[in-house]
Structure 1
Amino acid sequence: ELNADLPAGAEMTIALDDSEFTRRSIEAVIDDLILAVLITGLVILLFLHNIRSTFIVLLAIPVSLISTFAIMWMMGFSLNVLTLLALTLTIGILVDDSIVVIENIERHMKMGKKPWKAALDGRMEIGLAAITITLVDVAIYVPIAFTEGTVGQFFRSYGVTIASTVLLSLFVSFTLTPMLAALWLKPETEEKKEARGLGKVFHWIMWPVNKVWNGFIVIWEKAFDALANLYARTIRLALKNVVTQTLVILLAVGATVAGFMMIKAGMVGSEFLPQEDDGKITVNIEMPAGTNLDATDQAVRQAEQIVLDNAPETVFIISNIGSGTSSFFSGGGGGGANKATLTVQLVDKNHRDRSTIEVADALREELKQIPEATSSIMLSSVFSVGSGSAAVELQVYGDDPAVLADLANQVEAVMRTVPGAVDIINSDAAQAPEAQLVVDREMATNQGLTPAQVGMTLRTALNGAEVGTYKDANGDDLDIILRMDEASRNNMESLLDIPVGYNNQQQIRLGQVTKLTRKQSPAIINRTDRQRTMTLSAGVSGRPSGDVMADLGAALDAQMEFPAGYGYNFSGMSESQTTAFKSLIQALVLGILFMYILMVALFQSWLHPVTIMTSLPVATVGAFGGLYLFGMTLNIFSLLGIILLMGIVTKNAILLVDFTNELRAENKDYSRKRALVEAGRLRLRPILMTTFAIVGAMTPILLSQGAGSEVRAPLAAVLIGGSLTSTLLTLILVPVVYNFFDSTGGMISSLFRKLFGGSAPEPQVAPQSGAASVSQAKPEAA
């Protein structure tokens, strides 16, 4: 449409379109979501061996997601990368409640109950556990939505979307799931009807498949029974005496310490955001202060040729040279004539062998060949904050410009010693040539002029003044601006020769009433919070930006002493990383506190929630181990994964503790250890199902090569690693901790009374109203 209105020979094309990468990122997330649903369904089918049960559980996914769309609409959220990522992450979570309910219903049907009775009893029996699991998930996600700053702006829709989806999945598991189970599931005692007509033909066609499937079920169930019996024997061994229980505790503590040591030892680096490969590279060129536009243009042409020679993956280059108005008094620099930016667009990452990081590293050394030019390379990201912010950036502050410049130069020298710091820029300390015209007040007064008149005349000559308007043929008013031509503005002799007034009919020239001085002055003056600052920046290569920032801060503290009133602080992306990490850690702590308060209210006990929450720290070894194994960093997305993980890993402990309490309440002859063993054996199937459902749903995100996959993969690595190790360790740790607190509950209650002067809630076994009798389970299996 625009090309139609352009004159002949002119054409407009779209050179740079960031929305294209965003669209491809959304398509990649949708693909991950579909794969997550399919893998989750396969996991459920493998464990339940029943197409109808699998379909009932999978129905929770579309029903919950579609209902979530309504809430998103009411909240004003859009379907973007973050909300779609939130929906994808919940695929493995929102089937948890339905898995637990349907598995319990099937267990009751195996006791000989009719489907409607099994649906009621199974749902009622598991009600408290399902409610607790869901509300704990919500409690850990909601604080993210109310986080301040950049993180809060990014992830408000993310946190609300996850919390809404999980709450809706609980509603579905309490209504739709038991209803469909009562209608569609067949009793174990019901005789199979002989197929007739087309059904009989289909039965014969599918006979080989059914034969193989039934054989697989037999093998699977035997293997699972052997695993359940092995697990029961392991719990008995762990609970045998104080020594075995102590070994379990030491194993859990060792795993937790090992997880945090990965961060402390630098095995897992840190950065604000993972680098996306969107194929865009920004090259910044800066010439010495005072360089004119033509010289900068020549340097840019050299840079363009270097890019074309060393990056055959290049699709196009957009060069932006200089800014502002050139004048003699700005040294020909015009506030930006010595600076230029090249935007390099590469082909899609699936069509090249090198990543943008590898291409940037190859260009970095070649660009150093440009005479007198200082070059730096930045890689873009759709999640970047601000514009043109380097990976590491700091400000040196103080009052005296000379002292400040000297300190900035010292900081630059320290930065060059830090491994991984590249493209170090210290342009604020640079000096530029400056010409000053100082009014000779005595001479001006003798000529009948004031300094204001002289300044106004010079301003008109350089910047221009509106002297009238002109009405064109279309009737539009055009301003008429009077000023000197560009050549005269850049020529000092011409400026000194302009008339500034008349005295006794004699023309007075600017040079007669002014004195010309030339000096070096700061090329740029910046202030932050009304304090003078100089900014230094650096890119990173081969190391995460958080590690480089930490090493730089340690080096500056060790090697430099700042005078009173002077100092430094990190800014830009570095400051954003510190703020974001602090905000997310606060959200994590607040979420864990909410979890504890909620479980105290639901379990009517101070100690059972503590037992459940011992599963949280052991998840860290898997979370950080997943990042280390796949070469990823600790960033805001992996921190989001850790927060999400804290809500996920508690579900296994909740199932164990809740069912142990239930067994002890309904079977008075069950000892504490026997109830723990039986609860572990009977709840092993739903625990493994929910764990593998989450792992399966996260696998496409971890292995995806689509647009923006670099951002989503750390989150998936954290969830997969943390879920696996937490499940493995929780299944042994929680029974041990439960046994300890339950056996010492009286002592701890007495301690509460002594400390707080009142009665503390006793650790108690909460009776389950409406629960079906569990005594029909085979007690001898314990």
Structure 2
Amino acid sequence: MIDFFIHRPIFASAIAIIMTLAGGICYFLLPISQFPDVTPPQIVVAANYPGASAQVVADTVTTPLEQQINGVPGMLYMTSTSSNDGSSRIIISFEVGYPIDAAALDVQNRVSQAASSLPALVNQTGVTIAKQIPNFTVLVSLDSPDNSVDFASVSNYAYLQILDPLKRLPGVGDVQLFGERRYSMRVWLDPDRMANLGITAVDVQNVIAEQNIQVAGGKIGQSPAPAGTPFEMQINALGRLSDPAQFGDIVLRADQTTGATTRLRDVARIELGALLYSSSVTFNGKESVVLAVFQAPGSNALDLQSRVQAKMDELSQRFPAGIAYHMFYDTTRFVSAAMTDVVFTLLEALVLVVAVVFIFLQSLRTTIIPTIAIPVSLIATLVVMYLFGFSLNMLSLLGMVLAIGLVVDDAIVVVENVERQLEAGLPPLAATRKAMQEVTGPIIATTAVLLAVFVPVAFIPGVAGSLYNQFALTVAISVAFSAFNSLTLSPALSAAFLRYRGESRFALFRWFNTGFHALSHGYARSIARLVRWRWGLFALFLLAIGSTYALWQRTPSTFLPVEDQGYFFVVIQLPDGASLERTETVARRSEEILRGTAGVDFVGSVVGFNFLSFAAQSNSAVQFAVLKPWDERPPEQGASALREAVQPQLLQIPDALVLAFDPPSIQGLGATGGFEFQVEDLAGRSAEALNDATQALIAEARKQPEINPYQLFSTFSTSSPQFDYDLDRDKAKLLGLSLPDIFNTLQIYFGSLYVNDFNLFGRTFRVTLQADQGARASATDLSRLYVRNTRGEMVPLNTLGSFRPTVGPETITHYNNYPSALINGAAAPGFSSSQAVAAMERVARTTLPRDYTFEWTGITYQEIRAGSIAALVFALALVFCFLILAAQYESWSMPFMVLLSVPLALLGALSALWLRGMQIDVYSQIGFVMLVGLAAKNAILIVEFARRRREEGLDVVAAAAEAARLRLRPILMTAFAFILGVLPLMYARGAGAASRQSIGTTVFGGMLVATVLTLIFVPVFYAVIEQWREGLSSKPVGQRREPEAAE
């Protein structure tokens, strides 16, 4: 077949052009993303019980829903938060790759089964089910720069004109408003006037429900109608009210004797107010409303951001004067910058590889043949990537960067061997045929080994498997195309264009060639001496293996490196029960510090929101410190460096705990960087007991050197000041009172009550009852509240019970149905996440009481799962590599000779990581797997040629020396092409630099050491093992011939 292409260069070129054109088309069809689809699909179930405490929400809403949802097919784990604002939020995480639509349908069915167990008010407000990644993808703020538009109007403009268009965009899981003041008809009750007039809060509720009602009026003349009826006319019953004046005219009581009436405005202040006043948002110090855009699982974040940007640009054309928007938080900014940097890295690697090839081949005509293999192989790879549903992401592009040094290898081997035959005096066609007879076997062998290494890796499940998948297959596909090109295009072009060049005309090249000729012959002569020193070499090899193991044990590990994503978080926590006003004061101080920090571009704050539990809390806030673009910041202003620099100042803020965090490495796996640790109460004891166990664990864990004490904390607390209303139920019944009326009165006055709806601007808004602010400011206001008994008497609530001060949780969290407390933390400087995880587990086992346990969640859960997978991946790579070699050579000893080079590569990789102070992560683990194939590839070139020379009759040692001499040039050429090709990865800067440095350092060190030591150990081990094998089989030894004679 190869002869066919040698004689048909146009045919071979046409195939390469077709492959390139098809790949070019697929380039524009491939989506772009940071990672493959690695985030576990997540379903969010949300409900609201207005006025209920966290405990009531947990008992009556969250627990019934959890009991039904638990065990839904594909579920990994489930977390829930029940809050004092009446909200319930359950997040169900599924296995990576589980169909999200099927998951949503299963959850929907289970929620429907729980509906009958939920309070009527919860069913009235609705239980929502959303397919979304529970992390913000984009935050859009809306404000009035010149203050010409009041904030309520700005907020409602966002709700009426922006929210729904954004929700309709493809890829959007949900859009939520923060700091909003959505309209509500607020009926602010005056309990003193009501008591004087003998009117109760329940009376007002019932009257509004009765008089604010929409009914169908029917038609005049509707069929069947009398003959001759000329028209049908609609009757509009104007039952639903629409403005404060109409609500104020509602008749609460009418005296039929005197005609006197008591109207709603006589006992209440009615205004078009806001539904919620529990949070506030600022952007660079200015009050704003924020639209938080959540990504739908399986969608592309970059596409989502571009759609949101385009839609906001479109909508902004219709903004009223005085309103503007800012997209101040954009997680895809990092992705775009990182992808751009990777493309530049790819181009830099391409230039370096071509330069190395030219130095060794010393001819533009010769250099262009292996150079052509690079774009053809890489661009053709895009076709298969498109067919497999891949994306252009960090992993696949890093695979292409590393593949540059691989796809050129086979073409280099072909061209170098053809030139060697031309130097021997053969004409081009004959030289190409003879060269291909010698190198076809090694090319197929090395390709098979690389495919054996990478293809099995692609089918590992889970998040780690998804990360390996696209990298592994991208490299495997490009290597396969490279092998195809080296067996078709490269020999065709070699036969057509290569000619014997004679000695180079450039003195520099002549000196290089003379020196290399002397080096190769000296190297060949040294092999015989090294064989005699085999036991010394064997001892050195064992020392190398021992050193590799020692470095493996000493090098810290993590799941993913911490990247400079262009922003960091600040979480603010005040004492339990602190008012929104106090939290806003602390947030302003923190914002001043952040905005005064060099490298920070702008700051957004959401006050009254617990970012870690995603619940409304008056004593919590979160801030987003968005940094200047990467090219505008020096290296010392990286995100982590700025976070560490600003942390001491934030800790000086009085009356609050203010902590800065890196963002999560993968959006959707945790709220912040670091680890997430769940303490679980298996026996269902009190929240106070859970809090005590959690705080004891945190106190002990802060003493561990592996854990950063300043970033270890939990927002779970049971110290929130509360009141228990101790109702004397016997007394209430003796006085003829209705218990539901008593509790509804409490809810209406101190909480709020959603009665029904009204229409405004073509939308439906809520009518809300609540006591005016002066009537619910202290516990003594209980004496101003009355209920009516069956005899029509007004009974004050303070005669039926009293408020008893107590403390309790602001939020109640569950993990996999158990009461739990989330602990957030991070490794101390100089320690890895794996060491911090081990320290937390060690402390938990000795500190937690009986019937308490712990589980990991978020990114740490995936890191622990991936720990065992890494060893499996490496073992699979070795096993498949061994089996492929054994099958190809029909020998069990040959694969051992080849794979003995693998520990040498690992020694180099681990040494490089250790010297640079880096950790073992997913990227370096991918590099380890890649080194199995790379190290084996160089060894195969030596062993294959030695085997051929042995079959031709050379002595074992002479065959090994001859093979080493002949293969030295292509091995060094391909090795240095690869090594220099990864230099841009080693010294990467900007967005995504940590991942590029990790994999670049790993393969650089591994390939450098493996190349040097393989050239020493592999020929010697081949000779020793082959002598031992032939001795066992009594095979006659061929005639000895000195390596220098074989030119």
- TM-score above 0.5, yes or no: yes
Give me the TM-score of the superposition, normalised by structure 2: 0.65
CA contact (8 A) 2:663 2:672 kept: no
- State the match for 2:973 in structure 1: 689
In the alignment, which residue of structure 2 is the partner of 1:218?
A: 510
Between the aligned partners of 2:763 and 2:827, the Cα distance in structure 1 is: 53
Structure 1 counterpart of 2:582, which letter?
A: A
1:73-115 CA distances to partner (integer Å, 9 max, x unpaired)? 2122222332222111110011111111221222222222221
Residues 541 and 520 of structure 1, relative CA distance in 2, 3 Å threshold: same
**1:564 equivalent among 850, 854, 866:** 850
1:348 counterpart = 2:635: no
Question: Where in structure 2 are the equivalents of 1:284-323 lying within 5 Å?
Answer: 284-309=571-596, 311-323=597-609
Residue in 1 aligned with 2:530? Answer: 238
- Tell me the secondary structure at the aligned position of residue 377 of structure 1: strand
Return structure 1 stretches of 4+ with deviation > 6 angstroms: 746-749, 762-765, 775-778
Counterpart of 2:452 in structure 1 is 139
Q: Does 1:582 align with 2:847?
A: no
1 CA distance for matches of 2:733 and 2:1030?
98
- CA pair 509-554 structure 1, distance change in 2 beyond 3 A: closer
Q: Is 1:725 the equivalent of 2:1009?
A: yes
Distance in 1 separating the partners of 2:1010 and 2:572: 50
Separation in 2 of the partners of 1:232 and 1:285?
68
1:380 equivalent in structure 2: 663
Contact preservation (8 Å) 2:961, 2:1043:
no
One of 715, 725, 730 as aligned partner of 1:437: 725
1:549 to 827, 836, 839: 836
C-alpha contact (below 8 Å) 1:285/1:340 kept by paired residues: yes
Describe the superposition over 1:108-149 as per-residue Cα deviations: whole angstroms up to 9, x where unpaired: 222222212222221232112111111211222223322222
2:570 equivalent among 272, 279, 283: 283
CA contact 1:52–1:184 (8 Å) conserved in 2:
yes
Distance 1:536 1:347 in 2: 31
Of 716, 724, 733, the match for 2:1000: 716
Deviations 1:356-410 (A, max 9, x none): 2332222111112122211221122553552423413333333334544333223
Give yes or no for the alignment of 1:427 onto 2:727. Answer: no
SS in 2 for 1:62: helix
Question: Residue in 2 aligned with 1:249?
Answer: 538
Cα distance, 1:692 vs. partner? 0.5
Q: CA deviation digits over 1:277-325, x for unaligned, max 9?
A: 233121111111111111111111111122234x13221111111139x
User: How far did residue 68 of structure 1 move?
Assistant: 1.0
Q: How many angstroms apart in 2 are the aligned matches of 1:695 and 1:264?
A: 26
Kindly provide the CA deviation profile for residues 436-457 of structure 1, in whole angstroms up to 9, marking residues without a partner as x. Answer: 2244322332344454454445
Task: Give the number of the structure with larger relative contact order, counting CA–CA contacts within 8 Å between residues 6 or more apart.
Answer: 1
In structure 1, runs of 5+ residues without a counterpart are: 193-209, 325-332, 750-761, 766-774
Q: Tell whether 2:1026 aligns with 1:780.
A: no
Equivalent runs, 1:323-342 vs 2, <5 Å:
323=609, 335-342=616-623
Distance in 1 (CA, whole Å) between partners of 2:668 and 2:1001 is 24
Equivalent position SS for 2:317: helix
Cα distance, 1:225 vs. partner? Answer: 1.1
Q: Which has the higher strand share?
A: 2
Q: Which residue of 2 aligns with 1:528?
A: 815
State the match for 1:357 in structure 2.
Answer: 640
Separation in structure 2 between the aligned mates of residue 561 and residue 281 of structure 1, nearest angstrom: 32
CA distance in structure 1 between the partners assigned to 2:1035 and 2:835 by the alignment? 49
2:959 is matched with 675
- Measured against aligned partners, the alpha-carbon deviations of 1:724-752 in whole angstroms (never above 9, x if no partner) come to 11111112222232233323337888xxx
- 1:258 equivalent to 2:523? Answer no
Q: Secondary structure at the match of 1:9?
A: coil
Q: Compared with structure 1, are the counterparts of its residues 561 and 21 closer, same or farther at alpha carbon in structure 2 (3 Å cutoff)?
A: closer
Contact 2:725 2:804 (8 Å CA) reproduced: yes
Q: Which residue of 1 aligns with 2:463?
A: 150
Question: How much identity, in percent, do the aligned residues show?
Answer: 28
Distance 1:68 1:293, change over 3 A: same
1:274 aligns with 2:561: yes
Do the aligned residues in 2 keep the contact of 1:271 with 1:544 (CA within 8 Å)? Answer: no
Give the aligned partner of residue 56 of structure 2.
none
The residue identity in structure 1 corresponding to 2:995 is: V
* Counterparts of 1:46 and 1:587, CA distance in 2: 37
For 1:550 and 1:475, locate their aligned partners in 2 and report how far apart those are by CA, in whole Å: 54
Greater fraction of residues in helix: 1
1:416 to 702, 708, 725: 702
Distance 1:92 1:495, change over 3 A: farther
1:21-45 Cα shifts (integer Å, max 9, x gaps): 2222111111111111111111111
Alpha-carbon separation, structure 2, partners of 1:742 and 1:570: 51
Letter in 1 for 2:916: F
Q: Which residue of 2 aligns with 1:615?
A: 901
Matched residues, number: 722
Is contact 2:560–2:923 with CA below 8 Å preserved after alignment?
A: yes
Equivalent position amino acid for 2:412 in 1 = I
Q: Distance in 1 between matches of 2:609 and 2:835?
A: 32
Distance 1:554 1:616, change over 3 A: same
Task: Name the structure 1 match of 2:301.
Answer: none
**CA RMSD across the alignment:** 2.9
Unaligned runs of 5+ in 2: 1-313
Whether contact under 8 Å (1:414, 1:555) holds in the other structure is no
- Residues of 1 paired with 2:814 and 2:763: CA distance? 42
Q: Alignment partner for residue 672 of structure 2, among 363, 384, 389?
A: 389
2: CA distance between counterparts of 1:336 and 1:562? 28
Give distance in 1, aligned partners of 2:440 and 2:1035.
20
Note if contact 1:392-1:545 (Cα within 8 Å) is conserved in structure 2. Answer: no
Q: Letter of the 2:394 partner, please give it.
A: V
* Counterpart pick for 1:573 among 859, 867, 879: 859
2:391 corresponding residue in structure 1: 78
Residues 410 and 2 of structure 1, relative CA distance in 2, 3 Å threshold: same
> Structure 1 residue 506: deviation in Å?
1.7
Looking at structure 1, the residues matched to 640 and 380 of structure 2 have their Cα atoms a distance apart, in angstroms, of: 41
| Partner SS state of residue 428, structure 1 | coil
Cα contact 1:623–1:717 (8 A) shared by 2: yes
CA distance in 2, matches of 1:615, 1:405: 54
Deviates most, 505-514 or 281-290: 505-514
